[in-house]
Chains A and B, each alone.
Chain A
Amino acid sequence: MTLRLLRKAALVLLVLQCAAVAAAQPPRSGISYAGADVRALQADDFANPGMLWVARGEKSWNALAGRNNRSCAGCHQDAPVSMKGVAARYPRIDTATGKVSNIEGRINICRERNQAADPLQFESEELLALTAYVAHQSRGMPVAVAVEAANRPHLERGRDIYSRRQGQMNLACVNCHVQNAGRKLLAETISEGHGNAYPAYRLEWQGVGSLHRRLRACYFGVRAAMPAFGSDELLDLELYLARRAAGLPLETPGVRR
């Protein structure tokens, strides 16, 4: 009992400590920890393979879909104008359902309500391409998720997940990405774990993947059960990550190792 209390106290202290550190220092993007090759690949808009998904997303944006035979552009016109800054404010609470919605979720909401089309599968090439295209319109803009009454419980839950030890390795997100950020894990420099590059092209994936895919990889890494794509747990975590990354410029499509 006392041991558990002590552990709890230590965790609270740790979180307070992290909050203090986070307050003192601006967040640092994962790209700043990457090697010269990965940084150059992200910086070159032609060489960055993620731009192939962005180009594909632009085609999808203009393509008619669903029983209403309507394209994204049919309502939202030019994405570089209408979608500028949108991804920087996501995830948001969908007012109709009261649920957390990320860009992927919002695209599927649009498909269902406005296009009368089937939702796109998580991690499908088309959903990744559309999400990358929409998020790309906010590239360079600072992540700016507002704290409101509606999203506060989700933010708190996300923060709890972030500091909860889990899996066979009994590790919380904070153990790596706060306590040990900037230090080495094998041939890797541990980043602060921000999501501002996603959807991102990961060399290991040999393609573009979502933030949820990356988060699931972390669960896999600590040998914990992986929550489903688009699950409440990953959405709350994504929301908390966005709050944590406040001020960091979006990089979509980022490049990571």
Chain B
Amino acid sequence: MLARIQLPKTARRGEVISVRIAIQHPMETGFRFDVNGRAIAKNVINALSVRYNDAEIFRAEMGSGMAANPSLEFFTVARDSGELVFQWVDDAGRRGEERVQLAVTGP
């Protein structure tokens, strides 16, 4: 699953930074039919977790009310240099993961 993530490369310690993620996924509602009239099974990314240096900073539990190709923007406090790990899973059990480095400067 292709995803794009946006956050600053560097931040001052204590700064509140914006974190954005967008994932290519149809977020099938289960209410649609294919061209042959067969129902398309519901398949949405139902959980997304974001960990920053091993501590969970954000979690989303999602349903079919989220738009296709889901996008989320949230905030976090830049504490220490390290890694943000984004992990998600859909109803079909497919998993995705992205890792992004963040450098924190200042006392």
Contact = CB atoms under 8 A, between A and B. Distances in A.
B26 A207 contact: yes
20 contacts: A46-B6, A46-B20, A46-B22, A47-B20, A47-B71, A49-B22, A49-B24, A49-B69, A49-B71, A51-B4, A52-B4, A52-B22, A52-B23, A52-B69, A53-B24, A56-B2, A206-B27, A206-B68, A206-B69, A207-B68
B4 A56 contact: no
Interface string B1-24: 010101000000000000010111
Which secondary structure dominates chain A's binding surface? Answer: helix
A45 B20 CA distance: 12
What 8 A-B pairs are tightest by C-beta distance, nearest first?
A206-B68, A52-B24, A49-B69, A46-B6, A56-B2, A46-B20, A52-B2, A52-B69
Given A49-B71, A55-B2, A206 B26 contact: yes
Nearest to B3: A52
B62 interface: no
Contacts, number: 34
Contacts of B60: none
Interface size class of B (residues with CB under 8 A): 10 to 19
Nearest to A53: B24
A49 B20 CA distance: 13
B67 interface: yes
Interface residues of A, number: 11
Interface of B: 2, 4, 6, 20, 22-24, 26-27, 67-69, 71
Contact of A55 (B4, B6, B26): B4
Given A46-B4, A46-B6, A51-B4, A56 B67 contact: no
A231 B71 CA distance: 36
A52 B20 CA distance: 14
Contacts of A55: 2, 4
A56 B24 contact: yes
Candidate in A49, A55, A56, A207 with the most chain B CB atoms within 10 angstroms: A49
